Structure 1
Amino acid sequence: MKRLESLDALRGFDMIFIMGGASLVAALAALFPDSPIWNFIGDQMNHAQWAGLKHHDTIFPLFLFIAGVTWPFSLQNQLDKGKTLGQIHLKVVRRGLMLVFLGLLYNGLLNLHLDTLRFCSVLSRIGLGWMFGALIYTAVKSNKARLAIVAGILVGYWLVMAFVPAPDAPAGADIFSKEGSIACWIDKTILGAHSYRPEYDPEGLFSTIPAIATALLGMLAGELIRNEKLSGNRKSLLLLLAGIGMAILGWLWNFVFPINKALWSSSFVCAVAGYSLIMLSAFYYIIDVRGWRKWAKFFVVIGLNSITIYMAQRFNLLDGIQHRVFDGCINLVPDEFRRVAEETSWIATCWIFLYILYRKRIFLKV
């Protein structure tokens, strides 16, 4: 089966919000302070403070979901090349641990402040969530059994979170609050000074378990797309219906287990899986089924080197180029549009850098 361009495009669409797209949308919204619509759109470029869901909360899980979608194709490709399961498992573990290592680099490992180095990261959660998901998917052959494992993870996590409070929870503390949650207690107890915040880590230890379900749901979606017995139209429809169903399930579960990205709650997993499935359905139908590809090139360039630009931004590798190339033009822009110009120039700088890599066929693969 040929490479799905829709996956690269969707990954690029997701990454552009990290690459300055969210800041650009917020800057545009700030131009219309009296508009309720623009205020709402601008607010979606922030994370929910605790419980709740905004668009910015979907970026991370969508990336993990997409990583899951690619695995059934990669697994079959390796099996076709004669790789043994032992070799495949080793490669899975190596990739997962490499992402954990890149996460440590992102957090400042080379600064050698090891007493306060944050251990957890976005990349570590992607690495561990995907790694354990891939190992489970490879070991379990039945899709019904895989789905049962997803359900078991989410229900089990909910039961623990709902009935096991933090040992040091203040009297009357909500069991899903920072003070009352067992997940937050595990983070601050084990991680200590290595946590993102004293009271919890949004990419913490216990909350990584339901992230495995996010990856597995992506893998099940990939298995559906890989099914050659179904037409492209049928696959798109099934993805859409599954997405609507998961979104409804997440909304209903929210009443007893609030949607919460920091806790990666079971309702959050379902809600963002719904969003991810709907987006995948749309991109797959438009690009791979209908063949309308030209418009997606902008996103594909980003999606093929997503980790490259993620790390490059962290280490400020492109800031100097942006200032040298665009500062003169930005200085000509009226003050009220300056922030929009700055964010646009940053996206342009990053995209041109990625396009050069794309033309030279240079891709960072983990």
Structure 2
Amino acid sequence: MSVLSRDPFVDAFRGLNVLEMETIESCDNPFFDHAKYDEMKLNYADTIFPCFSFINGMTLNPECKPVPIYKNLQLIGLGIAFNYIPSILYNEKLRFLGVLQRHGLSSIILNQLLNKIGFSQYPILITGTWLGVSILYADNKKQPFKSQIASAQQKIDYPIFKDRTYHKNFDPEGLLGSLMTSVTLWSGIWYARMKLDVNQSLMVGSSLLAGGKLLAFLSPNYFPVSKPLWTPSFTMISTGWSILKYSFLKMGISFLPKYVQSLLSIVGRQNMEVYFMGEILLLLLKYKQNKKSIWGYCYQKLGNYLPDWWVQFFLTSSFNMTLVLFAVFCNKYRLKIRFF
């Protein structure tokens, strides 16, 4: 799937999403937490990565020409290389899984199977495969997702990665979830193909969101809302929200100052550079030496003069502005950390 010419709305959408990703990572506030595994629900933080995958689907060619596999392998390699940094800083074992690895693997699955399965049949067959494996390979067939350690995703991941996972008993970027993440990528291609107007987009987005919630309500044991599992209900809800979010941005972006529109587009074009810089910078700022970190020190000092939420707002805003300036720098000098 070759890449289409850049759409300024999509670039701004991607830029906003990347800054949201870094806000979630930097802000120590329960409001921005991901839902826990046993909660089986969706918090706003859980919609950010699916939105990123949806956007990437939107930017692929609707003619479905396969992307060279080396590009996705490069993405997986970048993710593993990034994971070396915290493993060195904290003297931990290297974690092979991660957000970029999940996205790269999902894209490989999509590109290798889409034309063989057929565009319209793809989400049905992939969802069916995910559900079949999730049920048959779980210890409890009637409640296949009740226990992390007894879930099919964990039983597939553990023999391969053992203790190199995010949590001791489970990794939210597990291999099985890549199937449904590829459906999120597919949904982005589908949306770009349909060329819906704003009113149609609002209707489709709302319908998907409501449909996902209804599916989870009718069959909570087999279709719970869960980002770590990337369930079908979660895929529908997060895709619906991505479409609504894009529609709202498209309606409202003209009311933003021109320089804000331009900066969002630049961040969107330099999304990978901004993501890497943000994650590395946060690791360094929050790295604790003698039980203290630069981030914690600033938080403590500012807390002597400002309310807690003001301190969080100031630190997170300053962090994001640094990333925006970095994006402008990369854009000016055409700096990239990838070849696509």
For this structure pair, what is the TM-score category when the shorter chain's length is used for normalisation? 0.7 to 0.9
Cross-structure match for 1:298: 263
Shift in Å, 1:194? 2.1
Which residue identity does 2:333 align to in structure 1?
A: K
Cross-structure match for 1:47: 34
Aligned length: 313
Structure 1: distance between partners of 2:82 and 2:321: 23
User: Is 1:20–1:343's contact at 8 Å kept on the other side of the alignment?
Assistant: yes
Structure 1: distance between partners of 2:68 and 2:83: 23
User: Is 2:224–2:233's contact at 8 Å kept on the other side of the alignment?
Assistant: yes
> Which ranges of structure 2 fall in alignment gaps of 5 or more residues?
286-293
User: Is 1:162–1:176's contact at 8 Å kept on the other side of the alignment?
Assistant: no
Larger deviation, residues 337-346 vs 249-258? 337-346
1:1-366 pair list within 5 angstroms: 3-20=6-23, 23=26, 43=31, 45-50=32-37, 51-72=40-61, 89=66, 91-108=67-84, 111=88, 116-137=93-114, 145-166=118-139, 175-225=145-195, 234-255=196-217, 256=219, 257-286=223-252, 294=258, 295-316=260-281, 334-336=305-307, 337-365=310-338, 366=340
Larger deviation, residues 13-22 vs 199-208? 13-22
- Percent identity over the alignment is 23
- Max radius of gyration: which structure? 1
**Residues 3 and 291 of structure 1: CA distance in aligned 2, closer, same or farther (over 3 Å):** farther
Structure 1: distance between partners of 2:173 and 2:50: 11
String of CA shifts for 1:229-287, please: whole Å, max 9, x gaps. xxxxx533332222122112211221321111111111111110111111223334555
User: Is 2:109–2:179's contact at 8 Å kept on the other side of the alignment?
Assistant: no
Which residue identity does 2:164 align to in structure 1?
A: H
Structure 1 stretches of 4+ with a deviation exceeding 6 A read 112-115, 290-293, 317-320
Shift in Å, 1:312? 1.5
Structure 2: distance between partners of 1:65 and 1:2: 17
Shift in Å, 1:157? 1.8
Which residue identity does 1:242 align to in structure 2?
A: V
Shift in Å, 1:4? 1.1
User: Is 1:247–1:270's contact at 8 Å kept on the other side of the alignment?
Assistant: yes
Shift in Å, 1:111? 4.6
Structure 1: distance between partners of 2:110 and 2:265: 25
User: Is 2:22–2:279's contact at 8 Å kept on the other side of the alignment?
Assistant: no
Which residue identity does 1:98 align to in structure 2?
A: Q
Structure 2: distance between partners of 1:92 and 1:281: 31
Structure 2: distance between partners of 1:136 and 1:223: 19
Structure 1: distance between partners of 2:193 and 2:187: 10
Structure 2: distance between partners of 1:249 and 1:155: 17
Shift in Å, 1:101? 0.1
Which residue identity does 2:23 align to in structure 1?
A: G
String of CA shifts for 1:178-216, please: whole Å, max 9, x gaps. 133111221223220222222111111112111111111
String of CA shifts for 1:52-100, please: whole Å, max 9, x gaps. 1001001111101111110116x68xxxxxxxxxxx64x5311110110
Q: Which secondary structure does the structure 1 equivalent of 2:197 belong to?
A: helix
> Which ranges of structure 1 fall in alignment gaps of 5 or more residues?
28-41, 77-87, 226-233
Larger deviation, residues 171-180 vs 121-130? 171-180
Which residue identity does 2:167 align to in structure 1?
A: R
Larger deviation, residues 207-216 vs 126-135? 126-135
User: Is 2:76–2:104's contact at 8 Å kept on the other side of the alignment?
Assistant: yes
Structure 1: distance between partners of 2:133 and 2:215: 15
**Residues 21 and 164 of structure 1: CA distance in aligned 2, closer, same or farther (over 3 Å):** closer
Q: TM-score, normalised by structure 1?
A: 0.74
User: Is 1:161–1:176's contact at 8 Å kept on the other side of the alignment?
Assistant: no
**Residues 46 and 21 of structure 1: CA distance in aligned 2, closer, same or farther (over 3 Å):** closer
Q: TM-score, normalised by structure 2?
A: 0.79
Aligned alpha-carbon RMSD (Å): 3.3
Larger deviation, residues 8-17 vs 340-349? 340-349
Structure 2: distance between partners of 1:2 and 1:293: 24
